[in-house]
Amino acid sequence: MTAHFAGDTLVLTGRSLRHILRSPDTIITTAVTPVAIMALFVFVFGGAIDTGTSSYIDYMLPGILLITIASGIAYTAYRLFMDLTGGMFSRLQSMPIARSSALWAHVLTSLAANLVSVAIVVAIALVMGFRSGADPLAWLAVAGILVLFTLALTWLAVIAGLTAKTVDGASAFSYPLIFLPFISSAFVPTATMPAPVAWFAENQPVTPIVDAIRALLAEQPVGTDIWVALAWCSGILIVAYAAAMAVYRRRAGGVSDRS
C-alpha cells in the first residue's frame, strides 16, 4: 500500500507541478510582496530602526522568508478549491488510487513552489546587501526549519481549501499569517514594544522561528529558540494534518483512506 500511495502521489504531484510551470507568474507574484516589503524597510525605514546589528537586512531577512511562505500557501488553498469545484476530486474518487495522495500532491507542490520563491527572495536580498558567514550545516538547519514551517502552513491551507465557499475565501485565510511577523521580533526587537504587545510577540510561533534562523545565519548561539521553533512547527503540522484529513474524509463521504 505504501508503494501504491507513493506512486499515486508522484503522478498527481507531477500534474500539479506542470500547472505551476505553465504559469510561473504564481511564483513571481509570491516573491513580489516580500521583496517590496524588504525594499521598503531596508531603504526607507531601515536607517531609523535600531536593532543593535550592523546590517538591518541581515536582521529582517528571516521574517521576510516567513512572509514569503505565508504568501505562497494562499495559492495552495486556491488550487485545491478549484480542483474541488471543478470536479477533479470527484473523478479521482472514482479511480483506484490512494485518496490522501490528492492532498499530498498539493502539499508537495506547495513545498516545491515556496522553496523556489524563498530562493528568489534570498538571491534578491544578496543583491541588496545581505551577507552571512554561516557554514553549510547552519544553512541546512535553516532550510529544515523553513521546510517544516511550509508544511505546517500548507496543511492549514488545505483546511481552508476544503472548507471555503468561494475562491476569495479559500485564499483570504492567509492574510493574518502574512501580517503575524509584523507583531514579532522579525522587524524590531520585542523589548521596544509596549508590554502587552511584547508579551504577544514573545509567545507566538513566529518569534522563536525568526530568532532561530537569525542566529543560525549570524553564526550566533541558537539556544532554546530552535527547539521552541521546532515544537511550534511540529505542533501546528500535526494538528493541521489531522484536521485536514478529517475534513477530507467527510467530504469524500466517509470512505476510509486506502493509503
What would the pLDDT profile of 137-191 be if each residue is shown by its tens digit?
A: 999 999 999 999 999 999 999 898 888 788 777 777 788 888 899 999 999 999 8
- CB atoms inside a 10 Å sphere around CB 127: 7
Is 259 inside any structural domain?
A: no
Q: In this structure, what C-alpha cell is assigned to residue 113?
A: 513552489
Q: Tell me the pTM.
A: 0.86
| Percent helix / strand / coil, the chain, rounded to 5 | 80, 0, 20
- Domain for residue 223, yes or no? yes
Environment class of residue 33 by beta-carbon count within 10 Å: exposed (0-12), middle (13-18) or buried (19+)? middle
Q: How far apart are CA 40 and CA 42, in angstroms?
A: 6
How many Å separate Cα 32 from the centre of its chain?
15
Q: What total of structural domains would you count in the chain?
A: 1
Amino acid at 196: P
- The residues near 220 (Cβ < 8 Å, ≥ 6 apart) are 214
Structural domain contains residue 256: no
Instruction: Give the confidence band of 33 by pLDDT, cuts at 50, 70, 90.
Output: confident
The answer to the question of residue 257 being in a domain is no
In a domain, 175, yes or no: yes
Note whether residue 229 is domain-resident: yes
Model pLDDT for residues 188-226, shown as the tens digit of each residue: 999 889 999 999 999 999 999 999 999 999 989 888 999
Q: What is the mean predicted confidence (pLDDT) over 235-252?
A: 88
Please check whether residue 241 lies inside any domain of the structure.
Answer: yes
Interior CA angle at 39 toward 35 and 44, to 5°?
155
Where residue 5 falls among pLDDT bands split at 50, 70, 90?
Answer: low
195 within some domain: yes
Q: Which residues span the domain enclosing 65?
A: 2-251
